[in-house]
């Protein structure tokens, strides 16, 4: 029998242990599911799916690192069910957005803002969703495990150059272990269907031709945004140099999904920052962004005023 003094000793340790585990998780994820074309499936199934995925993402320990509560990465997944193939098989578009706080400010910057289309997955209500990093469990698990490691890698890379490689390799491992019968249904795992698949995202980020891009990603965040409030003039110089490196990557590796994802995440932010810069910086960034994002070149006119 535990004596009262011993019990009083153990209670604080239990509280500390629980608090440590509560803060160990990496994500602060929100999941929403919309069903504009729902015909036969009970809507309650998708409410349960939303809850199950959110608990899975937030409660799983994806790394060995300790994350304090304020360090957790804000992530939003919006699942749009586009088709019901049968009672438990669905096709969906998934919009992924993750943000990172900027040091010394209340400002947050977007790490990824991407829509993955025509994902096919099975979901049985109340069936557990398991981590798909080391072993393939289901396509639903694999897709969300993949984007979790991609986001963790992008976040880590923004704080220290090269530190995202471990997470990028985990995302690559998920791709490698997807069974062929699954990848034939969900072509987002393949290299052949289009250049914007999950395969090509990781091919870009792990390709030596993207080394300067990854360095630019670090400089853009850690040596520019994170010092913007302390030394804005130096931050702008560094950001221009980072954009030049992204432009070099685009020249060496044109029409890559990696550069496209950078533009999708950062274009509005870049416009807001450089519309108040000096004339030389305005012109340089204007020219770069029009090359990186030619289909939306007109929106960068704001930079030049």
Query: Does 104 map to a domain?
Result: yes
Residues 294, 233 within the same domain:
yes
DSSP 261-279: HHHHHHHHHHHHHHTTS-H
The span from the CA of 95 to the CA of 79, in Å, is: 7
Percent of the chain with pLDDT over 70: 92
pLDDT (average), residues 39-48? 90
H helix runs in 207-256, sequence order: 211-222, 232-252
Query: 27-34 and 108-122 as β-strands: parallel, antiparallel, unpaired?
Result: unpaired
Q: Could you list the residue range(s) of the whole structural domain that residue 98 is in?
A: 17-206
**Which pLDDT value is given to residue 36?**
84
Does the pTM surpass 0.85? The reply is yes
The vertex-173 CA angle with 144 and 137, nearest 5°, equals 50
Say whether 42 sits in a helix, a strand or coil.
coil
pLDDT digits (tens, 9 = 90+) for 121-165: 999 999 999 999 999 999 999 999 999 999 999 999 999 999 999
pLDDT (average), residues 280-305? 96
| 64, two tokens | 């060995």
Query: Does 233 map to a domain?
Result: yes
Q: How many domains does the chain have?
A: 2
Q: Which residue, of 188, 206, 224, is where some domain finishes? A: 206
Residues 186, 275 within the same domain:
no
Residues 200, 244 within the same domain:
no
Query: Does 4 map to a domain?
Result: no
**Mean pLDDT for the chain overall:** 91
Query: Does 129 map to a domain?
Result: yes
pLDDT (average), residues 5-17? 42
The span from the CA of 42 to the CA of 205, in Å, is: 40
Residues 200, 217 within the same domain:
no
Residues 107, 166 within the same domain:
yes
Say whether 116 sits in a helix, a strand or coil.
strand
Query: 73-84 and 108-122 as β-strands: parallel, antiparallel, unpaired?
Result: unpaired
Residues 89, 135 within the same domain:
yes
Residues 75, 196 within the same domain:
yes
Residues 195, 178 within the same domain:
yes
Tell me: pLDDT of 7 over 60: no
């Amino acid at each position: 029998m535990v004596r009262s003094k011993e019990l009083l000793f153990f209670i604080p340790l239990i509280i500390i242990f629980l608090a440590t585990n509560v803060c160990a998780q990496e994500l602060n994820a929100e999941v929403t599911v919309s069903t504009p074309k729902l015909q036969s499936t009970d809507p309650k199934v998708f409410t349960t799916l939303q809850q199950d995925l959110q608990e899975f993402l937030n409660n799983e320990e994806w790394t060995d690192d300790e994350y304090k509560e304020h360090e957790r990465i804000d992530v939003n997944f919006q699942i749009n069910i586009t088709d019901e193939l049968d009672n438990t098989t669905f096709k969906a578009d998934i919009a992924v957005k993750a943000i990172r706080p900027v040091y010394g400010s209340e400002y947050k910057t977007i790490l990824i803002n991407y829509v993955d289309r025509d994902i096919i997955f099975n979901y049985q209500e109340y069936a557990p969703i398991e981590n798909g990093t080391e072993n393939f469990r289901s396509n639903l698990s694999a897709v969300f495990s993949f984007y979790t490691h991609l986001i963790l890698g992008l976040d880590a890379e923004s704080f220290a150059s090269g530190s995202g490689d471990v997470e990028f390799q985990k995302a690559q491992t998920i791709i490698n272990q997807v069974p062929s019968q699954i990848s034939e249904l969900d072509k987002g795992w393949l290299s052949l269907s289009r250049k914007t698949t999950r395969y090509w995202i990781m091919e870009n980020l792990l390709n030596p031709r993207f080394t300067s891009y990854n360095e630019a990603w670090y400089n853009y965040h850690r040596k520019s945004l994170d010092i913007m409030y302390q030394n804005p003039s130096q931050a702008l110089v560094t950001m221009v140099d980072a954009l030049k490196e992204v432009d070099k990557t685009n020249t060496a590796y044109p029409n890559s999904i990696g550069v496209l994802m950078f533009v999708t995440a950062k274009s509005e932010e870049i416009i807001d920052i450089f519309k108040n810069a000096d004339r030389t910086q305005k012109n340089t960034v204007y020219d770069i962004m029009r090359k990186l994002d030619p289909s939306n070149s007109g929106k960068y006119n704001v930079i030049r005023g």
